[in-house]
Amino acid sequence: EAGVTQSPTHLIKTRGQQATLRCSPISGHTSVYWYQQALGLGLQFLLWYDEGEERNRGNFPPRFSGRQFPNYSSELNVNALELEDSALYLCASSTRQGGTEAFFGQGTRLTVV
């Protein structure tokens, strides 16, 4: 069974540009979560999508947005990139049932120069 897949693995962008990160969940999982892991800041929750709807949002500015498609895959968009957006972006998926574990992808390393 395929795990959570993220693309691209690495992304280099210039300050002010837009970045699009993609995530395919495990088959049967309807929930997708996005986390940012920046150096020294730990794992910060960004967004949670389930059944195509945004269910919860972390403390990030509106230039961080995303969506979930009918096949439950998801996209994270970061507009007007800033240097401090450089981080590892992790996607996770789970069923919607409380207490089930989230399975993580390998992440997308975003570098803003």
Q: Where on the chain is the footprint of another protein (CB under 8 A)? A: 4, 31, 33, 35, 42-43, 45, 48, 55-56, 90, 92, 94-107, 109
Least Å distance, CB 73 to another protein, is: 17
- Name the nearest CA neighbour of 100 among 65, 50, 59: 50
Least Å distance, CB 80 to another protein, is: 26
Nearer to another protein, 7 or 18 (CB): 7
Least Å distance, CB 34 to another protein, is: 11
Least Å distance, CB 93 to another protein, is: 9
CB 47 within 8 A of CB 57: yes
Nearer to another protein, 79 or 109 (CB): 109
Nearer to another protein, 7 or 100 (CB): 100
**Amino acid in position 1:** E
Nearer to another protein, 77 or 100 (CB): 100
10 Å CB burial of residue 58 (0-12, 13-18, 19+) is middle
Q: How far apart are CA 77 and CA 67, in angstroms?
A: 9
- Going by their DSSP bridges, the two strands 87-94 and 108-112 should be labelled as antiparallel
